[in-house]
Amino acid sequence: MFEYIKGAVATLKPSHIILEANSVGYFITISLNTYTQLNGRESVKLYIHQVIREDAHLLYGFSTEAERELFRMLISVSGIGSNTAIMMFSSLSPDEIRNAILTENVNLLKSIKGIGIKTAQRVIIDLKDKAGKSPASEQIVSSADNTLRNEALSALIMLGFAKKPAEKELDKILAAQPNISVESVIKLALKSL
């Protein structure tokens, strides 16, 4: 029902936020990861996942669409509910969770409170294919200082190239020519991929 809510931060706690939008205060459950990204901001936009139960209407908020998408994947696994998925995001970053699934790191997943070995294995089995096929906009690497690399990687992914080989090629090109333009990086990468 809700895609996102944008508004002023009325209250921000590590477990929830009260977001005021159009004179309505929304109580939204968040992860520690989202809390860290929102801390200190007065106005925010949260991507929402709504759960409607017989006894409650619950809102879960995420700072990025990629985090919300991973949350939805996790709750599709038998044995993982919304609160367990939020606990997972509070224990590990979305990238760490995604990497644990892709590399079949059962020990990392079962180190999260509430996740046993069978649940960790089920997460890996159910989500390994889905976690590797996230939309291109979510696969862009989020290193803060390297926008040139991110732009080039984004372009290559949009053109249909796999993320890992594209990253390796970009790293090789940028190591050899650090002051190169985005267009030149993409052209060189296209020749070698």
**pLDDT at res. 146:** 62
Question: Whole-prediction pTM value?
Answer: 0.66
Q: Which domains does the chain have, with CATH numbers?
A: 4-62 (2.40.50.140), 66-132 (1.10.150.20), 136-192 (1.10.8)
In this predicted model, what pLDDT tens digit does every residue of 5-64 receive, in sequence order?
999 999 999 899 999 999 999 999 999 889 988 988 999 999 999 999 999 999 999 999
Sorted by sequence, the CB contacts under 8 Å of residue 169 that are 6+ apart come out as 189, 192, 193
Residue 65 identity: E
Judge whether residue 147 has pLDDT over 80: no
Whether residue 141 contacts residue 153, with contact meaning beta carbons closer than 8 Å, is answered with yes
Helices in 61-146 by DSSP H: which ranges? 65-75, 82-91, 94-102, 106-110, 117-132, 136-139
DSSP-derived secondary structure letter, 183: H
Q: Cα–Cα distance between 150 and 143 in angstroms, integer?
A: 8
Cα distances from 166 to residues 130, 156, 158, in angstroms, run: 20, 7, 11
Residue 143 binned pLDDT confidence (cut-offs 50, 70, 90): very low
